[in-house]
Amino acid sequence: MKDIAEAAGVSTALVSYVLNGKEKESRVGEEIAKKIKAIARELNYQPNHLAKSLRSGKTHTIGLVIADISNPFFANIARVVEDEAKRSGYTVIIGSCDENASKSWDLLNVLINRQVDGFIIVSSEGSENQIHYLKEKNIPFVLLDRHFPDIQTDFVATNNYKASYDACTHLIRGGYERIGLFAYKSDMYHMKERIRGYLHALRDNGLPFESDWLKEIRFEYLEKEVKAALDEIVSSEPKPDALIFATYGLAINGLKYLNELRLRVPSDLAIVSFGQAEGFDLYYCPITYMKQPLELLGQTAVQFLIGKLNNPDEGMKQILMEAKLVARESSMIKSHVELIK
């Protein structure tokens, strides 16, 4: 900074104002600010972030803990969070816990030791104690996509009940009456809400619930249990004429196995899924899906967290966002499917 000040013929204080983005509040002229920035670039000036953090008590880093980086939904959320944080001068350190609470705890400890300013967390099952710990330690955080209704926290999530209700209602209006659901076997609130929405849509439309058509799959045995569940579904009598997949991972494994069984979509089974990814476009029959507002989810989570970092006394913020049904050939109206047959 001293070298830049000498080259520009100004004080080091003036250089500090400009390089820290405070030229307007310090009333530094536009031309001299441009000159200082140009000289800084020529001299390849790099700020000492460690020194800055020691001075300010902030590292301007955010820890992002996501459930499963292999899921395109979470990979895209991570990109949105990173872009939004960068706009506010924050760097994001990302970790994936693979739906494992123990791994999530390890990641939190590593990031706490790295002195991140706060967290954005996609919670895994059994991680409630971790959320209580962050609250007790007054570490700022926002829960993203998943939250615990019994723990008062800031969160940004999708209205999973309504999304599932809308998915099931869409199939019913298309003439499908025997609708199954593939969900994860989980106590997580978002998954329970997806099951609840499905059940209430059947009830409200006067359709019976068949317990054999609700398949709850363990994440750690995903491929094996999806295959077993589909074998049971297609051999049942009567068999479902439509399926809802509660996650992208369930859908991809299900669609792959339907191909192996030589079952056609939608003539043998109509399909609606949660999650959005290119895989749904590349399938021979484009898949109807519930489009979650991932950009808005990620951006809002960052904004909520930075608001808390700038003002620790800011009140709690909780928001549910609506998913939108994107209807495509996989859930074509049943009468049209019959005509094609």
Helix 160-173 and helix 189-204, axial crossing angle in degrees, nearest 10: 30
What is the token pair recorded at 8?
A: 């520009």
CATH H-level superfamily of 2-47? lambda repressor-like DNA-binding domains (1.10.260.40)
Tokens for 45? 């000036």
Write out the CATH class of domain 160-292+326-340. alpha beta
User: Do 304 and 119 form a contact (C-beta atoms < 8 A)?
Assistant: no
The pLDDT tens digits of the residues spanning 164-202 come to: 999 999 999 999 999 999 999 999 999 999 999 999 999
Give pLDDT, residue 337. 75
**Interval 75-95: pLDDT, tens:** 999 999 999 999 999 999 999
Contact 131, 154 (CB under 8 A): no
**pLDDT value of position 56:** 53
Question: For the chain, what is the mean pLDDT?
Answer: 91
The architecture in CATH of the region 58-158+294-320 reads 3-Layer(aba) Sandwich (3.40)
pLDDT for the residue numbered 288: 96
Helix (H, G, I), strand (E, B) or coil at 229: helix
Return the domain boundaries, the chain: 2-47, 58-158+294-320, 160-292+326-340
Q: Helix (H, G, I), strand (E, B), or coil: what is residue 268?
A: coil
Tokens describing residue 20? 């820290």
Confidence label for 17 from pLDDT (cuts 50, 70 and 90)? confident
Tokens 């995903």 sit at which residue? 222
pLDDT per position as a tens digit, 90-140: 999 999 999 999 999 999 999 999 999 999 999 999 999 999 999 999 999
Helix (H, G, I), strand (E, B) or coil at 110: helix
* Structure-token match 């359709």, residue found: 207
